[in-house]
Structure 1
């Protein structure tokens, strides 16, 4: 738990105790990420005190995230792609929000490129809807849209740790609902804060359901980026993306097997 002066308490969903990087990914330890953010910002944390940080930490994190496709154009071959919202504040509390995905916003296509970059061992590829075109009356190819590598991450050991953490999310974490499939899956859950109003105009929490995943873990061939707005409410208290992704994987691999 982290408490800053004039901020509400910041914490993980559950009290996880001491965790390493793998468990932090598998069980979504916000506190683990908070401490990373504090170190990046050169902060000296004091309970219920101010959090003074180097504002360049925001740029450092954004530059790193962009190497996975977050907060930048993915390059998909359709017009009018957007990059989402980029926060302008440089307050210490917002840096903590930033590292757990509660400050800048990302498109589902960016989330797709992010999980694919991890599955591809750090190689970020431009997404394509069109592979090629041919003449209507022949097989002559008139246009080819080749694979384009946008960037390559050099810290392979770090990528491998993330991959292991995502796999552990399925075997012993918040993605365990995907562990009953006939293939090995790596995944990461997310719960973006969101709000709705009732008929009387009263606000209530209604977070978005998020999940990124790929399979098989050892040799990926399919990935899923699922985002469902306002999926968590008083009548639905489970990650719907887990259920949807489970069905997609089951259908895909069953079809390929047959």
Structure 2
């Protein structure tokens, strides 16, 4: 301040200089140095401008005592949020941080705004999206001060008004159990990252949402200035919420879409069969060979109807179903994409979290514009099994499954059950939000449900058999990346399920990046989550 304002500080203050923390205060430099701060503060000359936060308590007391010898310097006390669960809830709650300069004009332009440049505001998670709901109104004290800025008397007081509070849909114990099971599964599979979500098909309420790796949002509350850059530079991307923002090929979990579409459009009925010999040769612009997953065992599935095709997750059945083969016309890309969008794929679900991704439902036009190539029948084959260019988030796929489970209602997923005021009065009661009703008959959905149930009793999801609790499920093993020397690509492990099938009350999805096969890697995690939810004995890991 002496060099900035030309005010000589004549006293040597060894007591101040020797205190722990005083030499650790980082005075801003560069574009936001002290001079720049003064220029920014001219519009708000009576607001203090912070140059250091989270300073040592003893240092703060000494600065307050020596304030007459430190013109322009004061110590401010600021309330901060306490995040009791840290990493467990970080991706849901987010964190607060200093008001970003580029957003100040937005906040100050809000109706009845009392935001200032010194405020802490939500930066991620519900803290960000619900900022104006959680933000209260500051109080005011009009003081009489002496020549040195010391308080003489209080002339007037306006008490602060607390903001509203959120009552979440998340079950804290279920959240902790889900994180534990997912961490165990990811570690065992040597996966890179993972996500799991538990949701109510009846309302769209999210009961648990986990993204691994995670981060500790308590570090932000402690005001540690270097934590943000460290987390951003971490190659594991712990701040990235894979449950809502990770876009991955969904693999065979996507098969519920062409199955629903083909039944509803009359391309096949419950009893029509298509054959699987393990491979399929497509005569188009040369010869192209397509495989079913079972081909690695040297066999095919034979003739299957659509229930068995879902249960066994037969790739060749869905190649033919979507793209046609020989005399069988098939569903076609445009119709399949129409149903994909009906299920909410290709657009964000609208959950109350920022950064949600929309996924990708590719079309012939999209390929022409983005890759400069024509769409082929082979592209339709790949899309039908959730490969090729198709991308989805774990939340999107679980929400689509919930629409199958509940009979055709696509709800908007939510983390907020109620908003209450400081006195505990409900100011915004819970009301499930319907995105749309699927234009699909109950008979069609019943057949798809049969296929998902048979996947558990006699298919790829046998590990989801919980005995007394009836489960319907769909596995997924999605190839990605570059093939190895043997031509084998790494795979993501997917599994989604709901239970009980008679009256579904809970649905779960598990995704493990680079984890391997969904039936053997993701299924045990999902089974543990459902066992915990229904109070069944857990399996030993």
Contact 1:195 1:204 in 2 (8 A): no
Which residue of the other structure, out of 274, 290, 313, is the alignment partner of 1:28?
313
- Asked if 1:174 is matched to 2:452, the reply is no
> What residue in structure 1 maps to residue 495 of structure 2?
211
Partner of 1:49: none
Q: Is the 8 A contact 1:170 1:176 kept in 2?
A: yes
Task: State the alpha-carbon separation in 1 of the partners of residues 398 and 535 from structure 2.
Answer: 23
DSSP 3-state at the match of 1:82: coil
Question: What's the TM-score, normalizing by structure 2?
Answer: 0.41
Aligned-partner SS, 1:210: strand
Shift of 1:28: 0.5
322, 346, 351: which one aligns with 1:37: 322
**What SS is found at the alignment partner of 1:22?**
helix
Secondary structure in 2 aligned to 1:158? helix
Q: Report the CA distance between 1:182 and its aligned residue.
A: 3.3
Contact 1:118 1:159 (8 Å CA) reproduced:
yes
1:3 maps to what in 2? 281
Give 3-state SS (helix, strand or coil) of 1:239's partner. Answer: helix
Q: Tell whether 2:430 aligns with 1:152.
A: no
For structure 2, which runs of at least 5 residues remain unmatched after alignment?
A: 1-278, 295-299, 368-374, 537-541
**2:504 is aligned with 1:220:** yes
Deviation at 1:202, TM superposition (A): 10
The alpha-carbon distance between structure 1 residues 238 and 25, as it changes in their structure 2 partners (threshold 3 A), is closer
Matched, 1:241 2:522: yes
Distance 1:139 1:68 in 2: 37
Match runs of 1:83-94 below 5 Å: 83-87=358-362, 88-89=366-367, 90-94=375-379
Q: Secondary structure at the match of 2:449?
A: helix
SS class of match (2:289): coil
C-alpha distance after superposition, 1:157-197 (max 9, x if no partner)? 11000001000000000001111443100000011112368
Is contact 1:189–1:212 with CA below 8 Å preserved after alignment?
yes
Look up the match of 1:18. 303
Is it true that 1:64 corresponds to 2:339 in the alignment?
Answer: yes
Q: Deviation of residue 248 (structure 1)?
A: 0.6
Match of 1:116 in 2: 402
SS in 2 for 1:101: coil
Shift of 1:8: 4.5
Larger Rg: 2
> Which shifted more, 13-22 or 238-247?
238-247
SS in 2 for 1:208: strand
Shift of 1:221: 0.7
CA contact (8 A) 1:195 1:205 kept: yes
Q: CA RMSD in A?
A: 2.6
Displacement of 1:114 in angstroms is 0.8
1:135-168 per-position Cα deviation (integer Å, ceiling 9, x unaligned): 23x2201223521111112311110000010000
Structure 2 contact 466–531 (Cα < 8 Å) conserved: no
Deviation at 1:11, TM superposition (A): 2.4
What corresponds to 2:356 in structure 1?
81
Residue number in structure 2 paired with 1:107: 393
Listed one character per residue, the Cα deviations across residues 75-124 of structure 1 (whole Å, up to 9, x for unaligned) are 21222321123433321110010111103111111011111001111111
For these two proteins, the number of residue pairs brought into alignment is 239
Alpha-carbon distance in structure 2 between the residues aligned to 1:19 and 1:86 = 27
Q: Structure 2: how far apart are the matches of 1:251 and 1:11?
A: 37
> Equivalent residue for 1:95?
380
The alpha carbon displacement at 1:72 in A equals: 2.3
Contact 1:171 1:179 in 2 (8 A): yes
Task: Tell me the secondary structure at the aligned position of residue 348 of structure 2.
Answer: coil
Q: Is the alpha carbon distance of 1:33 and 1:222 closer, same or farther for their aligned partners in structure 2, counting shifts above 3 Å?
A: same
Give the TM-score of the pair, scaled to structure 1: 0.83
